[in-house]
Amino acid sequence: MAANYGYVRVSSCDQNEDRQLIALRKLEIPEKNIFMDKQSGKDFDRPQYKRMVRKLKKDDLLYIKSIDRLGRNYGEILEQWQILTKKKDVDIVVLDMPLLDTRRGKDLMGTFLSDIVLQVLSFVAENERSNIRQRQAEGIAAAKARGVRFGRPEIETPECFVWTVRAWERKEITIQEAIRQCGMSEATFYRRLREYRQTLKMAK
């Protein structure tokens, strides 16, 4: 029997995934079938995405909020789309873009139009990512020219720390992946982990 799945991605631990989750939960997708990664969309080396793809079967249906949640690399988005729709033989629905619904237009013309829209949106997503990097670089250069100093701020515990620790404890991700998702050094991660566990003991 075909199943419904949802995929959520936010670029960093300090971004909020609520908007995507609310949209998926309205579709009554089982919680166990909603997979979430908190990391950059520059590539598909994401533990939860890989885990989801392994579970997908023929005729399953995958929902994502927008095409840039799937990724930001033009070539890799197209490659993954082909893997999902052709090799895995699943359908994909992009909620913010009704034209990207592989259940519709299964004929040659419908598929052709869908492919064109996908390529255009994938290019726009990657181009926007490049523009953001360029604007950031220009902003930093301008600030330095004004004499602004960029020191290393005190690392705060990210909002996703508890979620990441639990995923690691369930062996869903490696310790290296947990450290990377939290944006910490290994020493800082283990120190915060000890503090977190000590807090749990005191709360009991």
Q: What positions carry a catalytic annotation?
A: 11
DSSP three-state, residue 62: strand
From the number of C-beta atoms within 10 Å of its C-beta (0-12, 13-18, 19+), residue 102 rates as: buried
Distance, CA of 97 to CA of 99 (rounded, Å): 5
Closest CA to 175 of 55, 47, 54: 47
Give a three-class secondary structure readout of 148-170.
CCCCCCCCCCCCCHHHHHHHHHC
Distance, CA of 102 to CA of 44 (rounded, Å): 21
Cβ of 3: how many Cβ atoms within 10 Å?
A: 16
CB–CB of 126/68 below 8 Å?
no
